[in-house]
């Protein structure tokens, strides 16, 4: 593994090691470029992972305090934990469920397709599906996505069987075990799935793709990656010409270092990425880096979510096997006759008893509630993943009242549900209810959103520099050698789980960065 000098200003510094940062690091290293990755969390191995929900949460989750505001239910239920993402090498690819769907063609043209919807900041992406298709193909091969590259689908578990028959009986046809970055066969040096049921806790068989044990060791094998775990970035600095030239961070002991850089790529997930840009304000950039548009932190999206659980009079044991074991795709289409634009998917989900008790109806107590929990063995569940509407006022800001251990303002996550979101969630709850009633559920439970796992859009890409933070390659409009390399780039949320697209954009961005460095443009 490489070790570069703090003064080495020829390196590319990547902040974050998840789907965006971890992938970008490997791609750049493969092209012969020197990379320093600064990751806030510690480095774990697969051996460290535990099949225990609270213990794994303590090990992996980003639990530094954040505040939440707005009318979304998460602000009430989880006021200091608005997002459920990771602080560890591999980022949230350690926790993710593996669903790997391409964004649909019309979703890249959200503003043109959906029209002018009051209260939204909808835009078309500055790229099309055709632009991304070759990179989607590379990402699917890299990640080993089932039902691509001749990789068979995964076998469905009990939770899927219930979903499949309920969905089929109400006329849905797009029901399968889906496209998952979980090996159904041994591939790329990784095991096939053991159906453990602990995808969210770190996959102990390594069947699920994570940058922790794919991209990062591959990058290290080039001899060009200097990975520094437990390195919390505090500020991105710039020179007199306005170009970024270094990154100030605190190591595990709290000692601060300034790592010089030729290029800086920010991939801290859609809360920390804008927070860092805002906290890096200077005399030249008083509103924060890359923020001449005022768009940094705005248009925060988190997917319309919610879950439907159902209880049956016979056993299901939903916790056995792949957590996200199957998908219903029928509602992902564009069809405003349903009373909303955008679409949504149902994907199976299960929780163990510890998390189900905490999340099934946050704050609920008493016998009615515990009676539901006692139906655990006979319970099935699925999650709603739908396109939420971007809004300029849904945003990450610096909380002026609270500072973290380094004296930097903590982020506030503000989100108000748009009426389109409310209409879509209502539709999804009714349809989910119908799915389970079709297989004779005795009771269905509509579960409000969990802390956000799909955080998107806070440094969005735009054709015009007035409308967003970065261009179609994730390069910030204002500063040529500063890049956004995570889901913050998303112009709109689409209805698909975002990881595949984040990886795809990172592969594409690596080509652009290498090209621009080769031409001495950056």
Partner 1 sequence: MIKKGIYRRQLMQSGAIVGIAASSGAVLVTPGVAKAMNLTTLDPHEGETLLVMSRQIYPHPNLGDMYYAQVVTDLDQKAAADKNIAQQIKDGVAGLDSAMGIAWIALSSGNQIAVLTSIETTPFFQTVRGTAVVSLYNNPLVWRFFGYEGASFPYGGYIHRGFNDINWLPKPPDAASPAAG
Q: Which stretch binds partner 1 (CB under 8 A): 231-239, 240-248, 443-451, 461-469?
A: 443-451
Residue 489 CB, nearest approach to partner 1 (Å)? 34
Identify which of residues 264 and 351 has a Cβ nearer to partner 1 in the complex: 351
**Nearest to partner 1 of 300, 319 (CB atom):** 319
Alpha-carbon distances, residue 113 vs 106, 122, 260, 334 (angstroms): 7, 10, 44, 9
Cβ neighbour number for residue 420 with a 10 Å cutoff: 23
Q: Which stretch binds partner 1 (CB under 8 A): 104-112, 177-185, 258-266, 502-510?
A: 177-185
Across the beta sheet with 35-38, the strand order is: 225-228, 35-38, 12-15, 263-266, 482-484
Among 17-25, 93-101, 155-163, 415-423, the segment contacting partner 1 (CB under 8 A): 155-163
**Cα separation, 134 vs 146, whole angstroms:** 17
Residue 347 region by backbone torsions, left for phi larger than 0, else alpha for psi between -120 and 50, else beta = beta
Q: How many residues bind partner 1 (CB under 8 A)?
A: 72
Q: Distance between CA atoms of 390 and 119, rounded to whole angstroms?
A: 9
Q: Which stretch binds partner 1 (CB under 8 A): 20-28, 172-180, 293-301, 329-337?
A: 172-180
Taking each helix axis from N to C end, the angle separating 158-169 and 419-437, rounded to the nearest 10 degrees, works out to: 100
Q: Which two tokens stand for residue 68?
A: 């939440």
Q: Is 196 in the site for partner 1 (CB under 8 A)?
A: yes
Q: How far is the CB of 354 from partner 1 (least distance, A)?
A: 5
| Residue in 150, 253, 368, 401 binding partner 1, rule: CB under 8 A | 368
Q: Is 149 in the site for partner 1 (CB under 8 A)?
A: no
Q: Does 382 bind partner 1 (CB under 8 A)?
A: no
Tokens 């705005």 appear where? 298
Judged by CB under 8 A, the residue of 160, 346, 383, 450 near partner 1 is 160
Q: By CB under 8 A, is residue 484 in contact with partner 1?
A: no
Q: What secondary structure letter does DSSP report for 253?
A: T
Please select the residue that binds partner 1; options are 104, 259, 444, 509, rule is CB under 8 A: 444
Closest CB to partner 1 among 256 and 377?
Answer: 377
In the complex, the smallest distance separating the C-beta of residue 443 from partner 1, rounded to whole angstroms, is 4
Residue that has been written with the tokens 């453990």 in this structure: 196
Q: Which is nearer to partner 1, 44 or 320 (CB)?
A: 320
Taking CB under 8 A as the binding criterion, the range among 60-68, 158-166, 216-224, 460-468 that sits at the site for partner 1 is 158-166
- 376 near partner 1 (CB under 8 A): yes
- Whose Cβ is closer to partner 1: residue 291's or residue 323's? 323
User: Which letter, b or e, does each residue of 225-250 get, where b requires 16 or more Cβ atoms within 10 Å of its Cβ?
Assistant: bbbbbbbbbbbbbbeeebbbbbbebb
Kindly state whether residue 374 participates in binding partner 1, applying the rule CB under 8 A. yes
Least CB distance to partner 1 at residue 320 (A): 4
Using the rule CB under 8 A, is 445 a contact of partner 1?
yes
Angle at 270 between CA 264 and CA 271, to 5 degrees: 100
- What are the structure tokens assigned to 398, written together? 């610096």
Given the complex with partner 1, which of 218 and 360 has the nearer CB atom? 360
Task: Return d(Cα 178, Cα 145) in angstroms, integer.
Answer: 9
Q: What is the x/- site pattern for partner 1, positions 35-74, by CB under 8 A?
A: ---------------xxxxx--------------------
Least distance in angstroms from the C-beta of 352 to partner 1: 6
> Is there binding between residue 161 and partner 1 (CB under 8 A)?
yes
Cα atoms in the Cβ-side hemisphere of radius 13 Å centred on 492? 30
The edge-to-edge listing of strands for the beta sheet with 409-414 is 67-69, 409-414, 395-403
- Do 308 and 445 form a contact (C-beta atoms < 8 A)? yes
Q: Which residue has the tokens 């170009």?
A: 243
Is position 372 an interface residue for partner 1 (rule: CB under 8 A)? yes
Which residues have a Cβ under 8 Å from the Cβ of 85 and sit 6 or more positions away? 61, 62, 91, 92, 95, 269, 271, 452, 453, 455
Q: Is 204 in the site for partner 1 (CB under 8 A)?
A: yes
Stretch that binds partner 1, among 127-135, 171-179, 246-254, 276-284 (CB under 8 A): 171-179
């Amino acid at each position: 593994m490489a070790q570069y000098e703090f003064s080495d200003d020829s390196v590319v510094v990547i902040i974050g090691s998840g789907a965006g940062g971890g992938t970008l690091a490997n791609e750049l290293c493969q092209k012969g470029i020197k990379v320093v990755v600064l990751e806030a969390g510690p480095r774990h191995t697969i051996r460290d992972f535990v099949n225990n929900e609270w213990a794994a949460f303590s090990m992996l989750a980003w639990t530094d305090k954040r505040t939440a505001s707005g009318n979304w239910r998460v602000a009430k239920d989880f006021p200091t934990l608005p997002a459920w993402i990771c602080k560890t090498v591999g980022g949230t690819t350690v926790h993710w469920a593996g669903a790997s769907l391409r964004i649909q063609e019309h979703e890249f043209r959200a503003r043109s397709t959906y029209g002018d919807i009051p209260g939204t900041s909808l835009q078309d992406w500055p790229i099309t599906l055709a632009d991304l298709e070759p990179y989607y193909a590379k990402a699917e091969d890299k990640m080993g996505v089932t039902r691509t590259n001749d990789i068979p689908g995964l076998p469905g578990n009990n939770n899927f069987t219930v979903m499949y028959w309920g969905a089929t009986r109400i006329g849905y046809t797009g029901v399968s075990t889906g496209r998952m970055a979980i090996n159904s066969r041994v591939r790329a040096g990784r095991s096939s799935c053991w159906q453990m049921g602990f995808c969210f806790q770190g996959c102990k068989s390594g069947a699920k793709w994570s940058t922790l044990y794919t991209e990062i060791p591959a990058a290290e094998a080039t001899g060009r990656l200097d990975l520094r775990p437990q390195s919390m970035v505090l500020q991105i600095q710039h020179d007199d010409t306005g170009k970024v030239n270094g990154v100030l961070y605190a190591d595990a002991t709290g000692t601060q270092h300034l790592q010089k850089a030729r290029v800086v790529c920010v991939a801290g997930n859609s809360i920390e990425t804008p927070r860092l840009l805002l906290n890096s304000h200077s005399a030249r950039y008083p509103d924060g880096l890359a923020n001449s548009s005022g768009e940094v932190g705005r248009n925060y999206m988190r997917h319309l979510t919610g879950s439907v659980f159902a209880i049956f009079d016979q056993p299901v044991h939903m916790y056995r096997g792949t957590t996200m074991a199957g998908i219903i795709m029928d509602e992902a289409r564009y069809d405003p006759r349903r009373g909303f634009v955008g679409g949504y998917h149902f994907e199976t989900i299960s929780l163990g008893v510890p998390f189900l008790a905490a999340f099934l109806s946050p704050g609920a107590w008493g016998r009615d509630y515990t009676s539901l929990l006692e139906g655990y063995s006979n319970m099935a569940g699925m999650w709603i993943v739908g396109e939420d509407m971007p809004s300029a006022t849904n945003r990450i800001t610096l909380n002026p009242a609270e500072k973290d251990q380094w004296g930097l303002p903590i982020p506030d996550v503000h989100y108000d549900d748009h009426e389109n979101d409310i209409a879509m969630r209502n539709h999804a709850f009714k349809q989910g209810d119908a799915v389970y009633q079709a297989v004779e559920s005795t009771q269905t439970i509509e579960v409000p959103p969990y802390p956000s796992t799909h955080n998107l859009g806070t440094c969005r890409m735009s054709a015009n520099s007035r409308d967003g933070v970065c261009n179609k390659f994730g390069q910030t409009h204002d500063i040529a050698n500063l890049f956004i390399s995570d889901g913050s780039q998303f112009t709109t949320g689409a209805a698909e789980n975002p990881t595949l697209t984040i990886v795809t954009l990172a592969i594409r961005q690596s080509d652009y960065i290498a090209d621009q460095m080769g031409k001495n443009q950056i």
